[in-house]
Amino acid sequence: MSKQSLLRLAQADWFGPLVVTLAAIAIIRGFSPDFLSPYNIQTLLIALAINALIAFSQMIIIAIGQMNLSVGAIGGLAAIAFAGMMQVWHLPVALAAILSLLIGIFCGALNGALISATGISAFVITLATLAIYKGINLGITQAQPFYGIAASVKHFGNAALFGLIPMLAVPTAIIAVALWFLLTRLPIGRFILAVGGNEHAASLSGISVRSVVILAHAISGFLAACAGMLLVARLQLGQPSIGDDWLILSFAAPVIGGAVLSGGHVSVVTTLLGVAMVALITQALVVFSIDPFLVQVVLGLLILAAVGINRLRETHLIARRA
Amino acid sequence: MPLSYDTSSAAALPAATSALRSGLPRSRIFISNEFGLILLIVIFALVFGTMTHGFTSHFNLFTLGRNTAVNIMIGLSMMTVIVTGGLNLAVGAIGVCAAMLCGYALQVLHLPWPIALLLALALGAALGAVNGFAVVRTGLHSFIITLATMSIFYGVMIFLTRAEAYRNIPFGFVHFGSMKVLGDVSPLLLLALAVALALAALYRGSVLGREMLATGARREAAELSGIRTGRIITLCHMLSGALATVAALMLVARNGAAIPSMAGQLGQDWLLPAFLAPVLGGAVLNGGKAPVFGTCLGAALVSMLTSGLLLMQLGAFWVQTFLGLLLLLAMFLDKARRSYLAYRNLA
C-alpha cells in the first residue's frame, strides 16, 4: 500500500521538479555554507516573487495554447504608469496601483480581443502590441525613469516579515494560491484548460471560446502589471526598461515545470518550482563564480532540455496508453 | 468527378483555366499585396515629400536606401523560414554572432576582409543549421527552439566578446557603407536587390526552391512525393542564418564597427522589421508562400515610414508604436482581402 502511494507520488507531475529543486538546494548548500543565510534566502525570495508573476503571466496563455510576446511590454507600461501617476499627478498609492492594474488588464484584454476577433495567430498580434505598448512607454517617459515613488511603496519594497520573508513575496503568495484555486477548482479555470486542450471540443460543449481567450489574456495582463509594480517597489524607481528581458524568463519557468506548449496542461505548483530552479541556477553560477553572462546560455539550454524531456514524456505516455 | 474522363474534357480543363486567367488579371492586380504596397509607398512619399524638409535631400535618399537594404535582408531572412511554416526568433542573435566573428577576424586575426566575410557567412549558416537540425530532430515548433537558441547564441557571444565592440575595421570594407554609386544609391541596396533576385530565381525556377515551397504548403504531401522534408527545413534555416549575417555585415559596414548591441538585447530589436516586411509582402505564416518582391516592398515601406516619421519630429520614441500599428493594420487588411477573395471565389 505504501509502495503504491509512493509510486503514485512519483507519477505526479510536480514530483520530478521538486526532487530536482531540493537536490539543487542541497548541492549548492554543500559548496557554499552561506547559501541558506537569512540574507541570501531573502534575496532569493524577492527574485522568486517577481519572476513567479512573470511566469504565471505567460503560463495562463500557454494554458489556452497560445503565446504572449507582450508580457514584458505590458509589465513595463504598468510599471511606468504606476510610478508616473505618483510623481506627475500625485495620486494616492492605492489609486495609482488600481489604475495601473486596470491598464494591465486592458492591454491584455485587447490582445485577447484582437486574437479572437480576427483569428490571426497570437504570435503576430502580440508582436505588434509589444511594439505598440513599448512605444507608448518610451513616448511617455522619453526613456527617462520616474524617481518620485511614494515613501510607502519604497518601504514596502524593503520590508520583511519576521525579518526573513520579504513583503514583496506576500502578493505573489496570495496570487499563486488564487491562481491555483482558479485553475483547479473553479469552472472558469476548467474552461481555460479545456480551450487549450481542444478548442473545437470546448466550443462544441458550450464554452464561449472567445470570452475564455479574452479572459485568459486579461488575467495575463493583470499578472504582468503586478510584476511590473512589484519591480518598481523593489528598484525604488519607475524604469522604462522594466520588462525588456522578461521574454525568455516567462517561457523558461512554465516549460521547465512541464507545461505543454500546445495548451491544456499547466500547473501553478510546477511553474513555481520552475521559477525556483531558474533562481537557484542563477545563484549557483554566482556561488561557483561562473561568468554571469552565461546565465542567458544556461536559460536557453534549460528550455531546450525541458521541452526535450516533456516531448519524451508525452510520447512515452502515448505509447503506454496505446 | 468521374473516375475516367474522355480526352475532350481533359482538353477542356486547360482551356477553362486559361479563360479564367485571362478574365482576371485586371481585378487581380488591384487586390494584390504588391499593388497595395506600391500605392502606399507612393502616397507616403508624396506626404513626406511635401510635409517635411529634407525628405528628398540627397543625404536622406542615400541613408534611406541604405536602411532599406538592411531591412530587406532582415525581412528575407525571416521569410525563408516562414516559407516552411516556421519562424526564426534568433535572426538578430545569429546576425550579431556572425558580425562579431567578422570583427574578431579583422581586428585580432588580421585576416583580409573577404575571408572574414566568408567566415561570418559560414558561422551564420552553421547557427541556422543548428536551429534547423533541432527543429527537425525534436519535431517541436520552431518558436520554442529558436527562442532557446536565441538566448544561447547571444549569451555565448556576449561571454566570448565581454560585450566589447571591434572598431578596427579596414577601410576597404567600411567604404561600402559610405560609397555612392549611380547618383545617390548605396551599393548595399544593389547588393540587397541582387540577393532578392537570386532568391526569386530560387523559388521560381529551381527544383530546390519548389521543394521548399511544397514542404511549407503541406509537409506530409511533400514527404509522400519523395521530398526529404527534414533536409529542406534545415536548408531553409541555414539560408535564414546566412541572410541574417548579410544584414548584420551591412550594419558593420555602415557603423564602421561590430557592436554586440547592434540588434538590441538578445537581438530582439530585429523581430519587428523581420516580421513586418514579409507579412506586409503577403507571406502566409502557415507557410508555402515566398513573396520575395513583396517582402522588398514591405521593407522599403517600413524604412520610409521610419525615416519620414523621424523627419516629421513626432518624437523618435513613438516610431515603434506606429510600426506596431502598421503590423496590425497589415494583418487586418490581409484578412479582409482573403475573405473577399474567398467570397468572390478567386483564390
Find the CB nearest A131 among B143, B151, B272.
B272
pLDDT for A29 beyond 90: no
- Is A303 an interface residue toward B (CB < 8 Å)? yes
Smallest CA–CA separation between A286 and chain B, in Å? 15
In chain B, % of residues over pLDDT 70: 90
Of the residues A121, A132, A136, the best mutation for testing chain B's interface (the one with the most B CB atoms within 10 Å of its CB) is: A132
Instruction: Indicate which CATH number applies to the domain containing B243.
Output: 1.10.3470
pLDDT at position A10 is 61
**B166 DSSP β-pair partners:** B258
B99 interface with A at CB cutoff 8 Å: no
Band the pLDDT of B153: cuts 50, 70, 90. Answer: very high
Mean pLDDT calculated for residue range A304-308: 86
DSSP string, B185-199: B-HHHHHHHHHHHHH
The pLDDT of residue B265: 83
Residue A233 has pLDDT above 70, yes or no: yes
pTM of the entire predicted model = 0.87
Mutation choice for A interface testing from B88, B269, B317, B323 by most A CBs within 10 A: B317
Average pLDDT across chain A, whole number = 88
What is residue B3's predicted lDDT score, i.e. its pLDDT?
Answer: 35
Using CB atoms, pick whichever of A124, A132, A311 lies closest to residue B285.
A124
For residue A2, what pLDDT is reported? 62
Distance (Å) of CA B255 to CA A158, B67, B104, B105, B250: 44, 12, 16, 17, 9
- Please answer whether residues B321 and B309 qualify as being in contact, where contact means their C-beta atoms are separated by less than 8 angstroms: no
Mean pLDDT of A191-217: 91
Residue B136, pLDDT > 50, answer yes
Question: Cα A219 to chain center, whole Å?
Answer: 11
B151 with A121: Cβ contact below 8 A: no
A39: burial class by Cβ within 10 Å (0-12, 13-18, 19+)? exposed
- The rounded percent of chain B whose pLDDT value lies above 90 is 43
Residue B19 placed within a domain: no
Exposure pattern of A76-90 as b/e (b: 16+ CB <10 Å)?
A: bbbbbbbbbbbbeee
pLDDT at B4: 36
C-alpha cell at B226: 519523395
Q: In sequence order, which ranges of A205-245 are alpha helices (DSSP H)?
A: 209-235
Of A119, A261, A296, the CB nearest to B154: A296
- Which of B151, B315, B324 faces A131 most closely, judged by CB atoms? B324
Q: Which domain holds residue B125?
A: 58-339
Number of domains in chain B: 1
Identity of the highest mean pLDDT range in A164-168, A203-207, B56-60, B92-96: B92-96
Contacts of A128 in chain B (CB under 8 A): 324-325, 327-328, 331
pLDDT of res. B29: 59
Contact A138 B320 (CB under 8 A): yes
Contacts with A246 from chain B: Cβ below 8 Å? none
Which residue type does A104 have?
G
Convert the pLDDT of each residue in B190-214 to its tens digit: 999 999 999 999 999 899 999 999 9
User: Contact B262/B88 with Cβ under 8 angstroms?
Assistant: no
Q: Is residue B1 part of a domain?
A: no
Mean pLDDT of chain B: 85
Is B138 in Cβ contact with A301 (below 8 Å)? no
| Nearest-neighbour CA in chain A from B341: distance (Å) | 16
Chain B partners within 8 Å of A130 (Cβ): 272, 324
Closest to A139 (Cβ–Cβ): which among B315, B323, B327? B315
> Residues of B with CB below 8 A from A117's CB?
none
DSSP alpha helix (H) spans, chain B: 7-23, 25-30, 33-51, 58-82, 91-107, 113-138, 142-161, 171-178, 187-205, 207-217, 219-224, 229-255, 271-281, 292-311, 319-344
What helix, strand, coil percent values describe chain A, rounded to 5?
A: 80, 0, 20
Stretch B238-259: mean pLDDT: 93
Examine the pLDDT at A322 and tell me if it is beyond 70. no
Return the percentage of chain A with pLDDT > 70, whole number. Answer: 95
Question: What tens digit of pLDDT does each residue of A115-174 get?
Answer: 998 888 899 899 999 999 999 999 999 889 999 888 888 888 888 887 788 989 999 999
pLDDT tens by residue, B3-61: 333 333 333 334 344 434 444 445 555 567 788 888 888 988 898 888 888 888 888 88
For range A273-287, the mean pLDDT: 85
Lowest-pLDDT choice from A30-44, A95-109, B73-87, B287-301 = A30-44
